[in-house]
Amino acid sequence: MNLERAVVIPGDGIGPEVTCAVQRILEKAGAAIEWVPHDAGLTALAAGDEVLPGDTVAAIEHHGVALKGPCTTPVGKGFSSVNVQLRKRLNLYAAVRPVRSLPGVKTRFENVDLVIIRENTEGLYSGVENEVTPGVVMSMKVASENACTRIARWAFRYATHRQRKKITVLHKANIMKLTDGLFIRCAQQIHKKEYPNIEYNELIIDAGCMRLVQDPSAFDMLLLENLYGDVVSDLCAGLIGGLGVVPGANIGDTHAVFEAVHGSAPDIAGKNVANPLALLMSAVMMLNYMADHRANPGAKAVADRLRVAYDSALEAGCKTRDLGGELGTDAFADAVIERLQ
């Protein structure tokens, strides 16, 4: 592959451990990437910087891609999420989260193959909250025709390129008639006017979640507004082995940030037990993005080599604890490296 520069943000909690493992695997796989390290989150604060330093954002704007570890967000107080800020600042409006059954990872379902598309810039993540009067607070859910249409078009275009057959919107437009109503209306219009050949349907989200855990094969692609996309991503992770195996990409028109669906997992941080696979798969998505968007076909060859290697490690029973195995983060990385061809 041609040499690429990419920003790397190790993040907080298990972030540095899994990032280091993934960088090691990528190097051994022959990925020609010059990493440009930057901080964000608690790590940036500890270094005396802002929680989302301006030079981190500027570096992603300059280099166009980043591989990012999770950043901790305090619950119920403190600064607003770095992850959300970053997506908004860089206008990374589409979150893509493929959820696929893995070889050697036994779960209730076989052959799960879903792609979640989450709107990444508005909804209840608008961050507009206030105290109306002591004891009464409110949070504003924002939907704009522009963002709803943009994410619907992005999802249908993705479906076309990836030979996907069906998009299902999960919503609550029976209750949130204006916001979720706008979301489904925009999706309906894009479907009807621009992509009538892709099958399209809608389900109210509570019943949709029940259907997902009963029979995930009834779904192909899911299109959701921000909060529902967040919740349903973790639900779907549970169908295939958990948060250790679900990658993600935050994509805009000009930049992309690749990060796992999971968070900083403070309960297991610093113990060399976290599964680096979700971030490794996110790096594979990054390589495929480089191949497609930057005319770097060699990057796809590296991505394919990585996929074969981690599949074969899992098939051989090499697994971290979250998947019922015994390997630590580094030992799993070694098992993948041994199988690189």
Interface residues with ligand NAI (CB under 6 A)? 14, 70-73, 83, 243-244, 259, 262-268, 274-275, 278, 322
Considering the complex, state which of residue 208 and residue 244 has its C-beta at the smaller distance from ligand NAI.
Answer: 244
For 264, what's the count of Cα atoms within 13 Å in the CB-facing half-sphere? Answer: 20
Q: Give which of ligand NAI, Mg ion, none residue 278 binds (C-beta under 5 to 8 Å, depending on kind).
A: ligand NAI
230 binds, among Mg ion, ligand NAI, none (CB under 5 to 8 A by kind): Mg ion
Give the residue with the Cβ less far from ligand NAI, 266 or 317: 266
Residue 117 · residue 221 · CB < 8 Å: yes
Rounded Cα gap, residues 148 and 185, in angstroms = 9
Which of ligand NAI, Mg ion, none lies near 325, with the C-beta cut-off 5 to 8 A by kind?
none
Question: Minimum distance from CB of 193 to ligand NAI (Å)?
Answer: 34
Whole-number minimum distance, CB 223 to ligand NAI, in Å? 20
Smallest gap, in angstroms, from Cβ of residue 163 to ligand NAI?
Answer: 29
Sign of CA dihedral 317, 321, 322, 324: positive
Decide whether 226 or 296 has the Cβ nearer to ligand NAI. Answer: 226
- Nearer of residues 117 and 152 to ligand NAI, judged by Cβ: 117
How far apart CA 282 and CA 220 sit, in angstroms, is: 20
| CB atoms inside a 10 Å sphere around CB 305 | 18
Strand ranges, E, within the chain: 4-9, 33-37, 65-68, 94-100, 113-119, 129-133, 136-139, 166-171, 199-204, 221-224, 249-251, 256-258
Taking the least distance from each CB to ligand NAI, the nearer of 159 and 327 is: 327
The torsion defined by the Cα of 159, 160, 161 and 167, in degrees rounded to 10, comes to: 0
Closer residue to Mg ion in complex, CB, 70/208: 70
Q: Which residue is nearest to ligand NAI (CB)?
A: 263
Choose the contact partner of 71 out of ligand NAI, Mg ion, none; CB within 5 to 8 A by kind.
Answer: ligand NAI
The rounded distance, in Å, linking the Cα atoms of 299 and 177 is: 45
In the list Mg ion, ligand NAI, none, the entry touching 245 (Cβ below 5 to 8 angstroms by class) is none
CB of 55 to ligand NAI, least distance (A): 19
| C-alpha–C-alpha distance, residues 295 and 311, integer Å | 26
Partner interacting with residue 243 (select from Mg ion, ligand NAI, none; CB below 5-8 Å by kind): ligand NAI
Provide the token pair at 310.
């981690």
